[in-house]
Amino acid sequence: MDDLKTRGLVLLGCGKMGSAMLKGWLDGGLPPSSVTVLDPNPSAWLQGTGVKLNAELPDNPAIVLVAVKPQMMGDALPSLQKLGNGTTVFLTVAAGITMASYEEMLGDKTPIVRAMPNTPAAIGRGITGIVGNAMASEADVDLADSLLQAVGQVVRLETEAQIRPLMAISGCGPAYVFHLIEAMAAAGEKAGLTPEMAMQLAKATVGGAGQLAETSDESPAQLRINVTSPGGVTAEALRVLMDEETGFPVLLERAVEAAIKRDEELA
């Protein structure tokens, strides 16, 4: 934190993800005067934080967080090229852009850490995978790790190739869960519940079960067994959901494979 306070931090883009991170840093004690934000459409909240907004860049910031959408990268990144090939660490949360692409834009001696967060980061409950390039030291990755902990858990990947399966699980995963809630609520409504009650039950059940799975010392498999009486109603429902040809495992495997394939096509 001391290095960030003295050398400063630059945030390129401050949408939902950037704002969530910035709030975590400021709440954690980072002085607003140490932060420079470059954003063409700053929110009212951002303007009220006291950070340096669209101001002159510090000469040698400790870190630059790249949080703009991939399609905006070509316009936004050239303004930071002068900070490449130095000791400034570039931490990117933009999807789909490889570290090799950043090296082409910033210089191949630039320390780069690529990160893939997910949308629950907006409420401090995200999980982010990170990996550094050859120029990123252990201390650089540690710095990125500590910054990203402001919005949730962090896992360290062994290779950049693991970004794709991580994206298909945790990056896309919230959408899978939201769809599960939709499907549960629709099934409840069809079975005779009101739409409002069915949705309330589905949201609370998924949220509560997720919290239990995350905090319990028991594995999800054991938790499932705990609520499944042999020959009972839960067992009968799971017989359908766990079918080896049509159940959840097969569908999720296909979904993850499809997500990875599409990411490869887009790249």
Rounded CA gap, 53 and 38, in Å?
6
The count of C-alpha atoms lying within 13 angstroms of the C-alpha of 219, restricted to the half-sphere facing its C-beta, is 3
Query: Which pLDDT tens digits describe the chain residue by residue (267 residues)?
Result: 678 888 999 999 998 889 999 998 998 899 999 999 999 899 999 999 999 999 999 999 999 999 988 777 777 788 899 999 999 999 999 888 899 999 999 999 999 999 999 999 988 999 999 999 999 999 999 999 999 999 999 999 999 999 999 999 999 999 999 999 999 999 999 999 999 999 999 999 999 999 999 999 999 999 999 999 999 999 999 999 999 999 999 999 999 999 999 988 877
Q: Do domains 2-160 and 171-266 have the same CATH topology?
A: no
Place of tokens 């650089």: 140
- Cβ neighbors of 200 (< 8 A, separation 6 or more) are none
Tokens (6 digits) for 197: 């009650």
Residue 231 burial class via C-beta count within 10 angstroms: exposed 0-12, middle 13-18, buried 19 and up = exposed
Boundaries of every domain in the chain: 2-160, 171-266
**Three-class SS state of 202:** helix
Cut 0.85: pTM above it: yes
Residue 102 burial class via C-beta count within 10 angstroms: exposed 0-12, middle 13-18, buried 19 and up = buried
Distance of CA 141 to the CA centre of its chain: 16
Does the 2-160 domain belong in CATH 3.40.50.720?
yes
Q: Which CATH class is domain 171-266?
A: mainly alpha
- Cβ neighbors of 133 (< 8 A, separation 6 or more) are 99, 102, 103, 110, 111, 112, 113, 114
